[in-house]
């Protein structure tokens, strides 16, 4: 059972429904971090400051957490962030039934979009941005 009280004011608890196994996941082994950076699910709980999603929303996750302060971020080149954190790499990810994610990383999707498709949003974004 997930302890919702550990959710911070600006975080969401997501129940994971679909996760993609990426080649990167096979190379990243940093226990005790829970892997999984390409996934989608349903918001189960939210912190008091969360405004972009609500309980019951279907969401996909952007795993990349940029600092927005380094020179690369200030120049609009977030992909080169000097202080990049990533869900499923440096923070616990989606290889669990539930995950706690910063609300800024949750993006609402239409309820009729299959979770399998939504989980592909991050790899698709990588290809489009290249």
CA dist., res. 12 & res. 57, Å (int)? 11
Q: Which residue range is the domain that position 91 belongs to?
A: 10-129
Residue 52 confidence (pLDDT): 94
Residue 29 confidence (pLDDT): 60
| Three-state SS at 63 | coil
Mean pLDDT, range 109-123, rounded to an integer = 92
Q: Is residue 3 part of a domain?
A: no
Q: What are the tens digits of pLDDT across the range 7-66?
A: 567 777 777 776 666 666 556 665 678 888 889 999 999 988 999 999 999 999 999 999
The CATH code of the domain that includes 115 is 3.90.180.10
Q: Is residue 28 part of a domain?
A: yes
Q: Is residue 118 part of a domain?
A: yes
CA dist., res. 71 & res. 117, Å (int)? 34
Q: DSSP label at 55?
A: T
Could you give the dihedral angle defined by the CA atoms of residues 39, 54, 33 and 36, in that order, rounded to the nearest 10 degrees?
A: 0
Q: Is residue 4 part of a domain?
A: no
Q: Is residue 101 part of a domain?
A: yes
CA dist., res. 66 & res. 84, Å (int)? 5
Q: Is residue 1 part of a domain?
A: no
Q: What are the tens digits of pLDDT across the range 72-88?
A: 999 999 889 999 999 98
Question: What is the total count of domains within the chain?
Answer: 1
Cis peptide before 120 (omega within 30 of 0): no
Q: Is residue 120 part of a domain?
A: yes
Q: Is residue 2 part of a domain?
A: no
């Amino acid at each position: 059972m997930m302890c919702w009280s550990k959710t911070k004011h600006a975080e969401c608890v997501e129940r994971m429904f679909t996760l993609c196994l990426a080649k990167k996941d096979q190379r990243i082994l940093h226990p005790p971090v829970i892997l999984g950076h390409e996934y989608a699910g349903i918001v189960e709980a939210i912190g008091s400051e969360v405004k972009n999603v609500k309980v019951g929303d279907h969401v996909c996750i952007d795993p990349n957490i940029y600092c927005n302060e380094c020179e690369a971020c200030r120049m609009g080149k977030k992909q080169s962030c000097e202080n990049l954190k990533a869900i499923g790499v440096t923070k616990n990810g989606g290889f669990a039934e539930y995950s706690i994610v910063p609300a800024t990383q949750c993006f609402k999707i239409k309820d009729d979009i299959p979770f399998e498709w939504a989980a592909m949003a991050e790899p698709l974004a990588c290809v489009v941005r290249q």
